[in-house]
Structure 1
């Protein structure tokens, strides 16, 4: 089964072109499933049936795994079986018609406009690191791109004269996202006075660099963000996606149409973007309750 998993992962990379994070999640989930099958009797994949899959999902649930984790595991298993069926490693797909557990859609946490303004004031732009950090935070809030997309940006992906960036999202899909004036100014100052002093290899095209002159990682950015959140005394439970959620919510609150926000966020399905409409409604109710004299 280990060899089949490797072949399946190669198929996802080469033929399906899935994002690296998705591929790694599938790999981990399928290795976990393989270990489960080994534990309950070293069952070959060709001899597995519906009850084995259900037993595995129940074990995940009993271990306290989140519904979203169980659902993702089932998606990986289902895709794996479909691949095996297509290439005739099996004659029947035991995952067929298995329903994914219903996931309660929790509204994402967002910052208020005042909290965002305060956060963006935190970097000390008299320092090289501060110039970089200011540029990153302004860019994230101006575009709503994912942190993985932020750290993957190269210099040539940014057009300050025209006011846009080009980024590669999930499924290797390219999209163009406009920049605001404050983001353009911050990125320009970083390029002129910050990056030139950070870069260790002049041929390196990475936009955002760490103190060693190498491309900044997601983990590196996460540490930076947490530092500024603490400095700004923001008590919201921050995640790397918080500025992305705030970007989308603030756009919709100020009259942006859903399709435009979907395109800027890079969502394949507009239903993913619609969660922000629920969020804006929830915020409107909260404002009404706090401000209307007869609420």
Structure 2
């Protein structure tokens, strides 16, 4: 088997054994295809040629192509996963990544929307139309539960458990988690469900947020409509589905939620991923200190 064939075997392993999402598999495939192309350009077509020198020149090539440190780090992460797979399969004897340093990445704090901006955004869609009620309910759910855009577009009607006041989100790796919904979000969902049945394709699918054609909305469509509403209400900063998720996490911490609870609500496998939001919440604490302490 050549290098490209082993990459395909690794992707099959991720799909079957790890149950990674199609989007994650696509990202792995894209990154490793670039490694294969680099190796083939160097005359290497087998996994036995996958050594430290090759990976080192690969990272150099990524940098020379103008790739950012964070993107290069992601590519290296894919290579390391592939190498671990080859070691387990006993196709190589030693780890060529063992002495490769991860590209240094500055930790960028996520930008968030203020409470007032969130309030404006949630009320931006018109409540007299199917689209407006759908979008209003969707924005409320995204902020109330901190869902990823991929999780929102996959929601089914049955994923909203109205009596318990929760949404069941299908996250990364096919893992489901239960996230509470507040009364404003539940009310927005109720209003949308009253008109959902008027869609000509509503009976043929259980997709919660229906597109004009009766299927699920695309991630790109959600990005576009959210950005449009933000501009319409005068929010100048770039707005995206993930910014709503960032805002959800930061506002919880500012309100006194503990880090482990926020980790569970976000569906983070590692609390380290959640810790970045504590820096934003710390700013809130420092501001409160300056306002309240007599010697601040």
Q: TM-score, normalised by structure 2?
A: 0.93
Alignment partner, residue 191 of structure 1? 193
Superposed CA offset, 1:151-171 (max 9, x none): 111111111121001111112
Give CA deviations for 1:202-243 in whole Å, capped at 9, x if unaligned.
131111111111111111111110110110111122232011
Q: Find the counterpart in structure 2 of residue 28 from structure 1.
A: 30
| Counterpart position of 1:101 | 103
Residue 57 of structure 1 and its aligned partner are, at CA, apart by 0.7
CA-CA distance at 1:88 after TM superposition: 2.3
* Aligned equivalents of 1:131, 1:179: Cα separation in 2: 17
Mean CA deviation greater in 38-47 or 56-65: 38-47
Structure 1 residue 45: deviation in Å?
Answer: 2.6
Q: 2:72 matched to 1:70?
A: yes
Partner Cα separation in structure 1 for residue 125 and residue 294 of structure 2: 40
In the alignment, does 2:212 pair up with 1:211? Answer: yes
Show the counterpart of 1:143. 145
Q: Are 2:228 and 1:227 aligned?
A: yes
Deviation per CA, 1:137-193: give whole Å up to 9, x if none: 001111111111111111111111210011111121111000000100001111111
Residues 142 and 241 in structure 2, CA contact (< 8 A), matched pair in contact too? no
Segments of structure 1 that go 5 or more residues without pairing to the other structure are none
Aligned length: 294
Cα-Cα RMSD:
2.0
Tell me which residue corresponds to 2:19: 17
Q: What SS does the aligned partner of 1:165 have?
A: strand
Aligned positions of 1:1-295 closer than 5 A: 1-193=3-195, 195-200=196-201, 202-285=203-286
CA deviation digits over 1:105-162, x for unaligned, max 9? 1110100000000111110010100000000000111111111111111111111121
Q: Distance in 2 between matches of 1:188 and 1:23?
A: 35
What are structure 2's unaligned runs of at least 5 residues?
Answer: none
| Structure 1 residue 294, shift from structure 2 partner | 8.7
CA displacement at 1:286 relative to structure 2: 5.7
Give the alignment's TM-score, normalised by structure 1: 0.94
Greater shift, 210-219 or 278-287, is seen at 278-287
In 2: Cα distance, 1:199 partner to 1:220 partner: 20
Note if contact 1:158-1:164 (Cα within 8 Å) is conserved in structure 2.
yes
Report the CA distance between 1:89 and its aligned residue.
2.2
**TM-superposition CA deviations, 1:65-118 (whole Å, max 9, x none):** 121111111111111112122212223321224221232111101000000001
Contact persistence 1:199–1:214 (CA under 8 A)? no
Superposed displacement of residue 199, structure 1: 4.8
